[in-house]
Structure 1
Amino acid sequence: MTNPADPAPPRPANQGRRVAARNRAALIAAAREVFAEQGLNAPLSAVARRAGVGQGSLYRHFADRTALASAVLGENVRQIERAAAEPGATLTSVLGVVTWHVTRSTAFVDLLRLRGDDDKEGRELSERVRAVLAGCPAGGHELAVDDLMLAVAMVSGAVAGPLDRRERQALAAWRLLGIDVGPLRPVETDADV
């Protein structure tokens, strides 16, 4: 039992923006994993738990599930843009990053499928991916960017089941289309550091 005369223990210092940015990045990474495992309807409490933060922190950063999924999508697109900006980047290497996201991010798969005209944010993100792919050195591929976006959507449609199976399915789908992709990998962005 505590003695009312004892002074209260000191409160930890508020670490402000630094912790907030770290929590936001952790929530996005956790959401990508949880959504990939359980789908977009996974409990947001599972995302908060995986990120190591409370649900209050999740809702301070993201008003709802849609805002969280949009943040995951935005981070995916930033990674693809960063991959295209790497020295020596080719269409093959960038497609490796795109495919990594297709196999791990349910929200990203949905983005790459044809979206409705009323989905302004989805269209904007999709256009950013389109611009990246259009600007990549083709490395022997002669696909128009519209065909390439369709190929990405087709590959994403082939992806289902456990992670190792999704990777095999994605790579097999690219092979059927006659397109080589680089290693499946994420790209670190400023949000990751």
Structure 2
Amino acid sequence: MTNAQRVNRGPSAAAENRAALIAAARAVFATAGYDAPLSAVARRAGVGQGSLYRHFPNRMTLALAVFEDNITAMETLAAKPASTLEDLLALLTDQAIASTAFIDMISPSSLEADLARIDARMTIVLASKLDQARQSGVIRPDVGTDELRLAISMIASLLAKTPAPSRRPTATRAWLLLRRALT
């Protein structure tokens, strides 16, 4: 039995390789932590380390790409007229559960320009559904994006310290408590 050689498709595979690297980073960091070897990310994506470093020169740029992907998913959801703040918070919670390895690196003291831009996009997405939630009585009228972001941060920090099998039920209980304060 022979091993099949992977054919180098050159620049035509760049977008596909980038997407595979981001997906692989999300999976590897979620299971092995943020300090997992980048070679594991390249291997899982099915690309060489050279390809990884062409797209992402360091660990932080790779992590930022994962965050960028998460924010894009939130923006896509928020653009749907039928989506609600509850839908956004559910997606954010799912992302936090999957990305607990990244939680410690997103403290305000570690914000870099790119992370600050992603952070601002998240605020805009939350604000886009907040008025609707206030008007429908889902959220108290005096709750703003700062309070929502604080609640999200609290849940993300809690999940980062929670063993993987307990993250979903812990997030559910934490949101139940926080919703009492927000509604």
Equivalent residue for 2:120?
A: 127
Aligned AA (1:153): S
Q: TM-score normalized by structure 2?
A: 0.82
Report if the CA contact (8 A) 1:155-1:173 is conserved. Answer: yes
Aligned CA distance change for structure 1 residues 128 and 107 (closer, same or farther; 3 Å): farther
CA distance in 1, matches of 2:59, 2:94: 22
Q: How many residues in Structure 1 have an aligned counterpart in Structure 2?
A: 167
Larger radius of gyration between Structure 1 and Structure 2: 1
Counterparts in 2 of 1:1-193, with a 5 A limit? Answer: 14=9, 16-17=11-12, 19-106=13-100, 108-110=102-104, 114-116=107-109, 119-136=112-129, 137-138=132-133, 139=136, 140-142=138-140, 143-159=143-159, 160-178=161-179
User: What's the RMSD between the two structures over aligned residues?
Assistant: 2.2
Please, which runs of 5 or more residues in structure 2 have no aligned partner?
Answer: 1-6
User: Among the aligned pairs, what percent are the same residue?
Assistant: 44
Report if the CA contact (8 A) 1:84-1:94 is conserved. Answer: yes
Equivalent residue for 1:3?
A: none
Q: TM-score normalized by structure 1?
A: 0.78
Query: Which is richer in helix?
Result: 2
Equivalent residue for 2:4?
A: none
Aligned AA (1:36): A
SS in 1 for 2:34: coil
Aligned AA (2:166): R
CA distance in 1, matches of 2:107, 2:27: 23
CA distance in 2, matches of 1:161, 1:62: 29
Q: Using CA pairs under 8 Å that are at least 6 residues apart, name the structure with larger relative contact order, 1 or 2.
A: 1
Q: Offset at 1:66?
A: 1.0
Deviations 1:37-93 (A, max 9, x none): 111110001111111111111111110111111111111111111111123010000
Aligned CA distance change for structure 1 residues 45 and 161 (closer, same or farther; 3 Å): farther
CA distance in 2, matches of 1:118, 1:158: 20
CA distance in 2, matches of 1:43, 1:141: 42
CA distance in 2, matches of 1:125, 1:65: 17
Aligned CA distance change for structure 1 residues 161 and 107 (closer, same or farther; 3 Å): closer
Aligned AA (1:115): P
SS in 1 for 2:123: helix
